[in-house]
Amino acid sequence: MSSTILFVEGLVKRFSGLVATDDVTLDLRDGLIHALIGPNGAGKSTLINQLCGELAPDAGHITLMGRDITHMAAADRVPLGVGRTFQVPSLLDDFTVRENIGLAVQAHGGGNFRIWDRVAVRRAIWERADALLADSRLKERREAPVADLSHGERKQLELLIALAGEPKILLLDEPMAGLGPVESQEMVAFLLGLRGKVTILLVEHDMDAVFALADVISVLVYGRIILTGTPDEIRDSAEVREAYLGGEEESC
């Protein structure tokens, strides 16, 4: 078994009485894709936001490769290797696709306080940005302003930007949300290409994608992890079907 990258222990988050994260413990292992599923309102986004530092937990610990990052500011976690994507793409709309990636590379590489250089001629940045783009369909849209991109393209750009930071652990908040079938398949193929290279925590509603990608699955219901196991174990669990799939059918 591979080593632990991110270890979450006894995490608790309350919002005025409501327990959104209830004693969550997660063990994310090197190179694996760990999916987090659960019905709407289970607290998946709240959990992601605590892992990346936007929300402060009320109790528990988050450990990144042996280092306690529970109370570290969001921006300070990124250079240690925590990367994320947003459920609703959050991009720099005035910049082009290439500029968005370039700035992500720059932010990761350093020298951000330099006021006397010229960012346009920092070749290392743009070579790396072009290399990231080369593997993507966005390559043809590299000079397009981000405000002009389609939803699917924005989702792809989110992912490329996150990869520009060379994360050890990638927190993906519903990367398939709002994608068409073809785009979803492309995204799955792209994520499969990352398996073994980056550790991924995948929050996703699209079950086909989850079962196609995940090495491990945790099921979150009302803020609690009710089961963690392989895709087969999850599929066969009566408890999961009861709590999750059953609930899903009712809501439909």
Contact positions toward another protein, by CB under 8 A? 52, 54, 73-79, 84, 86, 90-95, 99, 102-104, 106-108, 111-120, 122, 161-162, 165
Closest to another protein by CB, 86 or 244: 86
Distance between CA atoms of 208 and 153, rounded to whole angstroms? 21
Closest to another protein by CB, 110 or 181: 110
- The total of other beta-carbon atoms located within 10 Å of residue 156's CB is 24
The angle, 0 to 180 degrees and rounded to 10, between the axes of the packed helices 123-134 and 97-109 is: 120
3-state secondary structure of 135: coil
Nearest approach, Cβ of residue 162 and another protein (Å): 8
Closest to another protein by CB, 106 or 199: 106
Nearest approach, Cβ of residue 48 and another protein (Å): 11
Contact present, 92 and 146 (Cβ < 8 Å): yes
Of 192, 99, 108, 184, nearest to 145 (Cα)?
99
Nearest approach, Cβ of residue 170 and another protein (Å): 12
Closest to another protein by CB, 89 or 223: 89
Region of residue 178 (phi > 0: left; psi between -120 and 50: alpha; otherwise: beta): left
Closest to another protein by CB, 118 or 123: 118
Distance between CA atoms of 155 and 139, rounded to whole angstroms? 14
Find where tokens 């790396």 sit. Answer: 128
Nearest approach, Cβ of residue 100 and another protein (Å): 9
Of 28, 19, 20, 23, nearest to 9 (Cα)?
23
Nearest approach, Cβ of residue 38 and another protein (Å): 23
Nearest approach, Cβ of residue 22 and another protein (Å): 22
Tokens of 76: 């300070």
Closest to another protein by CB, 91 or 144: 91
Q: How many helices (H) and strands (E) does the chain have?
A: 10, 10
Nearest approach, Cβ of residue 134 and another protein (Å): 21
Closest to another protein by CB, 115 or 238: 115
